[in-house]
Structure formats: structure tokens, C-alpha cells
Amino acid sequence: MGVRLMESLATTRPLAELFSDQSVLQAMLDFEIALARAEARLKIIPQSAAEAIASAARAETFDGSALSEAALRAGTPAIPLVKALTERVRAQNPVAAGFVHWGATSQDVTDTALVLLLKKAQPILESDLEWLCQALRRLAEEHTQTAMLGRTLLQPAPPVTFGLKAAGWLAALQRCRKRLRVSFLGSLVVQLGGASGTAAALGEHGIAVGQALASELGLIYPDAPWHTHRDRLAALVCACGVLTASLGKMARDISLLMQHEVGEVAEPSGECRGGSSTMPQKRNPVGCVATLASASRVPGLVATFLSSMVQEHERGVGGGQAEWSTVAAVVQATGLAAASMAEVAEGLTVDAVRMRANIDATRGTIFAERAVMMLAQKIGRNAAHKILEEATRTCSAQGRRLSEVLPEMPEVTKHINPSALRELEAPEAYLGMAREFQRRSLSGTDNTNFTSKIEEKKE
């Protein structure tokens, strides 16, 4: 199955296939197969019934459109699916039909099916994130010494390095990956509570069946059913939200650096990539576009999920029903952003010459802070700041460089050697701890034993 045209900027092919009708149906049927096998293993239902159910539970034999229409009337897709499955089993083995869905409720099916889909989604996201992180690490290491303008409030500021910028993107993504892994692990929990979350229909076998079901599906068995407790899924949705926003930050930076007036980086080009229907010269930041589109959509989806958490008693009215499409959209948008930025980072062109030219275009005014700190040691910071304000105004009015204006100011030359002023505008000499911050970001030292450090402070 390909990506639907309406979702062409909302998902990737692997994730579109994962959340396709047939895949979702099979996940629900896999629950029914595993439940029957678990119950047969515990001798609660006949082995022949489990075999008949497994034989009939093939998604390609079901009418997805008909089930969707019936789900709207039933309030859940599980009810028409169980009915259809029962009829298929009855056609093979009338006795076995009576054991379909034994002891379960509709939400057990839909929740576990969603969890099974998330289990398959995790390696898809992780693969693209690993690709992206490796590409960013290479960029950082290749550009440790590549000076570029720092930009604060979109205005020129003292220089940074592109290596530090790439390392910053990478460090944020690594933190996001850790949160995502933890939240995925926490969400891979089977659901089997029956009508009211007590598994009463299974009698004394409720926990044993749940444990056997979890084992069949490779999921975790929780302390208790979680029908209206959605915190685990919420943690995953929120982790996706933070990750997508971090990817969006990277996309925003790159798209701004790609502007013609800046021209410091460029996304990879290729046939049909980044072009325009009317302007042949265009090289649009299409990977950034897709990522920023995801970053725009996901916060609202996260809010929708958090709102849906307020569910009534043992079975919610509307809250749970809002989740399937919301979670699917969040995961697909996150996956699209990760895959898009991996492709961008892998083929990103960095123009170090243009970066240096843009530094030079400021006529040295970005080094005013450096001059302030040199003067402040002699006359105090406030006085030094006023002198440099005057100097930069002169630079702007006369179109001259800071290193030309300062030697003409007696209040400056009285305290700073002319040779030091001549070297004032060397970017490499005013990078502070950029290299060390880059090294620390790449090594992840700021995250090492973070929890233990907090505990140590408590003690």
C-alpha cells in the first residue's frame, strides 16, 4: 500500500503501511489469536477452538470498509470485527465459534492492537533517528573549526562554529531518543480486563490468561488492566511531541540558513526534489518543509490526547474513541520528521566561504562584545559599553569596520594596544568554549548519571 495523497506530507511509506486498514485489522485479529492460544494452553477452551480461530483470523479475508461503517454504529471497530470473525469460525467449526473473544471486552482488543502497532513502529522511528544522529555527528566533526555568525533574535551576534550548532541538534535528539525509548517500553502493555476491568468472566484464571496472552504477543503484563488510565500512552505521545519539536528546531535553523540572502547551507538536490512549478532556479528546503509541517501539527494532537485522558470511571465516553487516530497521526508525523531530517543531514552542503563572508559583512561589529570585555578590565563595563555603542554607530553611519574606528578613539587606544585592535575581528580567536561544548555535546556528558546526581544532591 502506498501513502494516500491526502497524507503525502503527513507520513512515510513504512508507517502508512503499518497503520493501513489491513495492518490494523491484523493487529486486532492477532489479539484474538493470542487470546485463544493462551486460553487453550491453560485448558480453558479446547485446542481445536484455538486452531479454528487462528485459521480464520486473516485480515485479507475481511471487508475493511464494511467494518469501518459498522464501527461508527457500534462505537468501536471491535464489535463488528468479533462478529465477523465468529461467523468465519462457525463456518469451519460451529463449536469453536462459541469460544471467540472468550472473557475479553472490546477495549481489550482495540488497546492491545494499538500497542502491537506501536511495537512495530518503534524500530522504524529508531532506524531513521540513528541515521540522522550519525549524519549530524559527521557534520559536527567535519566542521569543528568552521566559524559562522551566531544569531540572536535573528540578528548577527558573536561567532559560533557550525560544528557546535550540529552538535547541539544532535545532543537534543539524543535526549529525545532516550525519552522515546523509555516511553515506548512503558507503553508496550497488554490489555485484558473484561467488562469492568476485573477479568471476572475468566474467574480465577484472569491473571494467568493475561500473563499467557502477554507472553504470546511479546508484551508486558501490567499490575492491573488500564482501560481508563492512559498515562503510559500519554507519555509516549508527549515524547513524540518533544522529539518532533526538536526536529522542527533543526529544520527551522536550516531553512533560515538556506535563504538566498544567507546562503550558508543547502539541502541535497535531485530530480524532482525542491523544485518549483514556475521558477526553474528554485532549490526549496523540502525536507525542512515536511518536518516543520509535522512540528506544526503534533502539538495540537498531543493536546487532543491529553484532553482525552479525562475518562469516566471504568470505561470512558469519547475519550478512548479519540485516541486511535490521534496516536496514529502523532507517530506518523514524528516518523516523517525524523526521516526527512535524516535525508537533509546526510546530504547537507555547508558553505564555509559564505559563512566567513557573512561574518565579514558585519564590518566587525559582532566583536563589540569582545572590545567591551577588553576595555572593561581598565574602565569598567558600563563605561566600556557606552564607548562601543558610539563606535558601532559610527561604523553603521560611515560604512567602516570596527577595527578601523576604534584606533581613532583616544579613550580606547589609551587602554588597548593597536596590535590587539587589529586582531579584534579574527573569528577563531573569539570562539570561547565552543570546541569543548561541542565535545561535551557529542559525548553526552551532561546526561551521564543524571538521576544519580539528583539523588546525591538530595542526600
The residues that are catalytic are 276, 315
Answer for the pair 298, 334: CB distance below 8 angstroms, yes or no.
yes
d(CA 237, CA 370): 44
d(CA 46, CA 128): 44
Phi-psi sector, 129: left (phi>0), alpha (psi -120 to 50), beta: alpha
Element (H, E) at 175: helix 162-187
Closest to 318 in 3D by CA, of 75, 48, 26: 75
How would you write 341-352 as a 3-class SS string? HHHHHHCCEECH
What's the one-letter identity of residue 192? Answer: L
Answer for the pair 82, 101: CB distance below 8 angstroms, yes or no.
yes
The C-alpha cell 527551522 sits at 252
Q: What is the CB neighbour count within 10 angstroms for residue 278?
A: 6
- DSSP string spanning 211-275? HHHHHHHT-B--SS--TT--HHHHHHHHHHHHHHHHHHHHHHHHHHHTSTTT-SEE---BTTBS-
- Any residues with CB less than 8 A from the CB of 307 and at least 6 apart, and which? 319, 322
d(CA 146, CA 356): 9
d(CA 291, CA 303): 19
